[in-house]
Structure 1
């Protein structure tokens, strides 16, 4: 009887084990997964033609006093960013020129304050996680090493888990859907104000086609936690606009020397390109709404 019971138990355990094994997915190398990912995103050559990009949108914060915060994100190769967000008629700006980073924040009843990036913020900016297609796009040229770690279930879909190591030494994970080969999730390291380190899960949602390029039009942070999530919604995209180098310089505060003057523009609008834009041949700047319609 004990032998029969043991046999039944063994069979049950094996059934459970089989049930917990992910559905069979194609056996691919990390390089093959990335190749399919790049093709699904529109192709490497098409992405290389994008020398600058502007996102205009809003951030949804369910528990904040201002649940919708308008923003503008300006990016220019090789790794320059300017992020501007407006809340309650005040503007915050974060700038990275490829080497140095600054934060401009309003201060009550006094002039705005400019601070340098912390060491942690610099490392994050150097990784350039969001710029020009993400870390998998042209990863070798960026000096990024990628390895296949396994296959996971991500919100009911099988996804390849890739380990991504940046030149800075930081390591993250990126998940690529096993069917669409689009990125669906990545984990990034974070550090609280008290210095405690942790991991934040970020989800890519609502992919749309913009002049042949696949881009997520919503980026959600912390979707695998019990807390309310922040959603970065991209309402408009401007491809290859002429962005002046000056906007990526250290922001100035009136009356304080040694800083380039950077115009504070309301996030609801985009800087208008000059009448004769210096964009790439055949790639005139175009604005796209979140539905993929050009304006």
Structure 2
């Protein structure tokens, strides 16, 4: 009887594994896009405003990010009475950092590598939405577990050679984690972000909790407080202001 149960269990596992690998990368991507709300709804989204909150070494940090879909982004971060601004407008970007955080307090051009990385946030809906149009490729590497959940591991290779691994739930088709190596100020770092607490707004799905490595050690949790879809946006906020 025990042997029979073992064989039955083994057959179930084999059947499950077979069905998992019967999926192709394109099928997983298609189901992911559908789970996130569908291509047409994301295309129709003109922009959004998102407010987040997180803590670093006991300091509460608030941020507001405004995005014009496919075009521009601006993020304003408030910490200890100081403001940090990061903006991307088309192929260019600029930032303002206070002196206490290594800046000049004046608008400065962002390095091209940082602009390129920041531009990935401009395409609302995620990196899988338009990957073919952007000349990227996706490979289904296999299956793994992320915090106990079964996931498909997808390898996204961009036209410029950047590689991002996306871990997509086999049940919900939400992206639960991304990993990839990125160059920051000339140094290559391993970037890993986990996503959870998914919620829907007008049929579009967003993760409201993100976790990533804290540069000071440990894990940093970013909580989304609010998301406004298609807000009225003054596009002048993305233009680099003149120095004072």
Same fold flag (TM > 0.5): yes
Which residue is equivalent to 1:143? 135
1:168 to 160, 164, 170: 160
Give the strand-richer structure, 1 or 2: 2
Matched-pair contact (CA < 8 Å) for 2:69–2:122: no
Matched-pair contact (CA < 8 Å) for 2:50–2:224: yes
Distance 1:111 1:119, change over 3 A: closer
CA distance in 2: counterparts of 1:135 and 1:192, whole angstroms: 20
1:125 aligns with 2:118: yes
Which residue is equivalent to 1:239? 229
Which residue is equivalent to 1:10? none
1:47 to 39, 42, 46: 42
2:29 to 34, 51, 72: 34
CA distance in 2: counterparts of 1:74 and 1:90, whole angstroms: 19
Matched-pair contact (CA < 8 Å) for 1:60–1:233: no
Structure 1 residues not aligned, in runs of 5+: 1-20, 255-295
Matched-pair contact (CA < 8 Å) for 1:111–1:253: no
| Cα deviation, residue 120, structure 1 | 2.5
RMSD, aligned α-carbons: 2.4
| Cα deviation, residue 192, structure 1 | 5.2
- What SS does structure 1 have at the residue aligned with 2:107? strand
| Cα deviation, residue 129, structure 1 | 4.5
Q: TM-score, normalised to structure 2's length?
A: 0.84
| Cα deviation, residue 111, structure 1 | 7.0
1:56 aligns with 2:51: yes
Distance 1:129 1:248, change over 3 A: closer
- What SS does structure 2 have at the residue aligned with 1:96? strand
| Cα deviation, residue 185, structure 1 | 0.5
Runs of 4+ in 1 over 3 A off after TM superposition: 190-193
Matched-pair contact (CA < 8 Å) for 1:52–1:76: yes
Which residue is equivalent to 1:102? 94
Distance 1:198 1:95, change over 3 A: same
Give the helix-richer structure, 1 or 2: 2
- What SS does structure 1 have at the residue aligned with 2:34? helix
**Cα deviation code 1:31-51 (max 9, x no counterpart):** 000111011111111111111
1:200 to 185, 191, 194: 191
Which residue is equivalent to 2:71? 79
Aligned residue pairs, count? 226
| Cα deviation, residue 184, structure 1 | 0.4
Range moving further from structure 2, 113-122 or 196-205: 113-122
Range moving further from structure 2, 36-45 or 137-146: 137-146
| Cα deviation, residue 145, structure 1 | 1.8
| Cα deviation, residue 72, structure 1 | 0.3
Of structures 1 and 2, the larger Rg is shown by 1
CA distance in 2: counterparts of 1:38 and 1:222, whole angstroms: 27
Matched-pair contact (CA < 8 Å) for 1:174–1:185: yes
- What SS does structure 1 have at the residue aligned with 2:97? strand
Structure 2 residues not aligned, in runs of 5+: 1-13
Q: TM-score, normalised to structure 1's length?
A: 0.70
